[in-house]
């Protein structure tokens, strides 16, 4: 049982849906980013997705692309992202952290070393968007053996023929991408998402969490009502990019979490 498994077990017992928040590590700088991350659980966040900045984030829209560039310009590295998780763990041993990003920085560090360091830093799961199931031996299976959940993405184009392959070796939860396209490019619609989530849940016991295109408490509630929870990234990252004060950012997150938890 990982912290992710424990969290869903607890939420299920409480009859609540999950709220997951994404932030880019090191955006706009290390200290501010760590302050935001440390404040997320108090704002109602159940699982933190911590973005690993990368120079070529092909699945991300302009908002998260710019966040990654700000972080890189500020000197954020993979090591500093792991350091951030370590610092977070000094005050919080229960909130799961999922490191989300691309394979290149992990490959450059070396898979074995990365997994050892990630586990030591208190990372609970990985989302690596450019590693398909056909490459499971590369990172997914070693991660599972190291005690980390490997969380896969499914999309509106993941048909019934492809779905079993996507679900194979996935653990923790399945991340359903509510729209076709990049992050922040359109709004999720619960009427479209609901049947897709039901289709996926018929094929797996894993929780299905929906992300992309959720930018308000009402939208978080609507999406969480047809899934096991909601993820918000771009809407939070946008406020960070605007230089809003940390308390204001966390107030916004709190509203989103309350929306998801109402579902």
Q: What's the confidence (pLDDT) of residue 192?
A: 82
Among 261, 259, 234, 258, smallest CA distance to 178 is for 234
* Chain center to CA of 208: 12
The per-residue DSSP string of 32-44 comes to: HHHHHHHHTGGGT
Clarify whether 187 is annotated catalytic: no
Reported as a single tens digit per residue, the pLDDT across 23-61 is 999 999 999 999 999 999 999 999 999 999 999 888 788
Catalytic-role residue among 27, 46, 49, 221: 49
The pLDDT of 215-242, averaged and rounded, is 96
Polymer length in residues for the chain? 263
Among 76, 30, 22, smallest CA distance to 54 is for 76
Half-sphere CA count of 178, side-chain side, radius 13 A: 31
Question: Could you say which of 3.40.50.720, 3.20.20.70, 1.20.210.10, 3.30.70.20 is the CATH number of the domain covering 3-150+216-257?
Answer: 3.20.20.70
Packing angle, helices 30-39 and 246-262, rounded to 10: 30
The domain limits of the chain are 3-150+216-257
How far is Cα 83 from Cα 88, in angstroms, rounded to an integer? 9
**172 phi-psi bin (left φ>0, alpha ψ -120 to 50, beta other):** left
Clarify whether 49 is annotated catalytic: yes
Reported as a single tens digit per residue, the pLDDT across 127-164 is 999 999 999 999 999 999 999 999 999 998 899 999 99
Q: What's the confidence (pLDDT) of residue 220?
A: 96
Catalytic-role residue among 27, 46, 60, 196: 60
Q: What's the confidence (pLDDT) of residue 186?
A: 55
């Amino acid at each position: 049982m990982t912290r992710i498994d424990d969290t869903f077990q607890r939420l299920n017992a409480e009859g609540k849906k999950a709220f997951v928040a994404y932030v880019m590590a090191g955006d706009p700088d290390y200290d501010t980013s760590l302050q935001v991350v440390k404040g997320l659980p108090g704002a109602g966040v159940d699982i933190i997705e911590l973005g690993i900045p990368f120079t070529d984030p092909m699945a991300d829209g302009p908002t998260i692309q710019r966040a990654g560039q700000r972080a890189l310009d500020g000197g954020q590295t993979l090591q500093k992202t792991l350091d951030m998780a370590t610092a977070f763990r000094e005050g919080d041993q229960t909130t799961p952290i999922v490191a989300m990003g691309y394979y290149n920085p992990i490959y450059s560090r070396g898979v074995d070393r990365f997994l050892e360091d990630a586990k030591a830093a208190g990372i609970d799961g990985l989302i690596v968007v450019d590693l398909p199931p056909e490459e499971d031996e590369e990172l997914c299976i070693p991660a599972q053996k190291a005690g980390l959940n490997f969380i896969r993405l499914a999309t509106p184009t993941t048909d019934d023929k492809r779905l079993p392959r996507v679900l194979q070796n996935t653990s923790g939860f399945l991340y359903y991408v509510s729209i076709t396209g990049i992050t922040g490019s359109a709004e999720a619609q619960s009427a479209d998402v609901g049947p897709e989530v039901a289709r996926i849940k018929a094929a797996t016991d894993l929780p299905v969490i929906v992300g992309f295109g959720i930018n308000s408490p009402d939208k978080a509630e609507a999406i969480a009502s047809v899934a096991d929870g909601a993820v918000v990234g771009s809407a939070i990252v946008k406020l960070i990019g605007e230089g809003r004060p940390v308390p204001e950012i966390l107030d916004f997150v709190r509203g989103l979490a309350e929306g998801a938890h109402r579902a």
